[in-house]
Chains A and B, each alone.
Chain A
């Protein structure tokens, strides 16, 4: 039986966190092409909303990765040293949870953006009339 050291477990843990943040950054990079759309939607509080959007995505990914607990009921991680498979599972769980939270946050922002756009349009039409 091969035993895993604390360093190896720590590597998987911090690797999971790094990959979760990387996924949030990749999402932001994918949306970078639509920068002008943000300017169209947010006529007021532009900087605040854009930075709020970016930071909320990164925080969601980080929160998802940090929410996975490596300790057992007695607050120890000795069981992980005996099984490398469990450590890998925990790492995958970290990334999975981060992606799900990222998805929920992006969905919430999508609805906020659509509602904001509709409100903008209504105020414009009221001004014209």
Chain B
């Protein structure tokens, strides 16, 4: 192939573009590797965040159980007048609260696609904690109402 002056310029231009493309490709691959690394880190972040928020929910549940433990003992000992039956009821109440809290805390709908960022992660964590607290709230309200009705019933029966 004979390269004249005009062609030489074109050839150099093409070579430069080719070199630039190569450079660009290399940069892209580096960037791609970089993005992959970031992506895997993000997945670990998701996992760690999920575990931490689950542990927080479990901690809140256990804390609430510890808070009401004394009053539960007093209430059931007065209601049952039998230590063994009172122990059974206390254990069952604890199980109800524990399972309600943990069951809701396990449910997770985390967004892990490419668009996910720290803000969406914050919302996901909030949703998880909210679900656990909501479940605990409902359990407490139902149990409190049931215990109140039973207390009133026993009072009326005694009279």
16 contacts between A and B (CB under 8 A): A30-B91, A31-B95, A34-B85, A38-B88, A85-B110, A89-B110, A93-B108, A96-B102, A96-B107, A100-B99, A102-B103, A103-B98, A106-B96, A107-B96, A113-B89, A114-B89
By a CB distance below 8 angstroms, the chain B residues around A23 are 99
Asked if B4 is at the interface (CB within 8 A of a chain A CB), the reply is: no
A85, A107, A111 — most chain B CB neighbours (10 Å): A107
* Residues A75-129 near B (CB distance < 8 A): 85, 89, 92-93, 95-100, 102-103, 106-107, 109-111, 113-115, 117-118, 122
Chain A residues near B (Cβ < 8 Å): 23, 27, 30-31, 33-34, 36-38, 40-41, 85, 89, 92-93, 95-100, 102-103, 106-107, 109-111, 113-115, 117-118, 122
The CA-CA distance from A111 to B43 in the complex, in Å, is 44
Instruction: Sort chain B's interface into a size bin.
Output: 35 or more
The CA-CA distance from A93 to B105 in the complex, in Å, is 10
Question: Are B92 and A31 touching (Cβ within 8 A)?
Answer: yes
Contact residues of B: prevailing secondary structure: helix
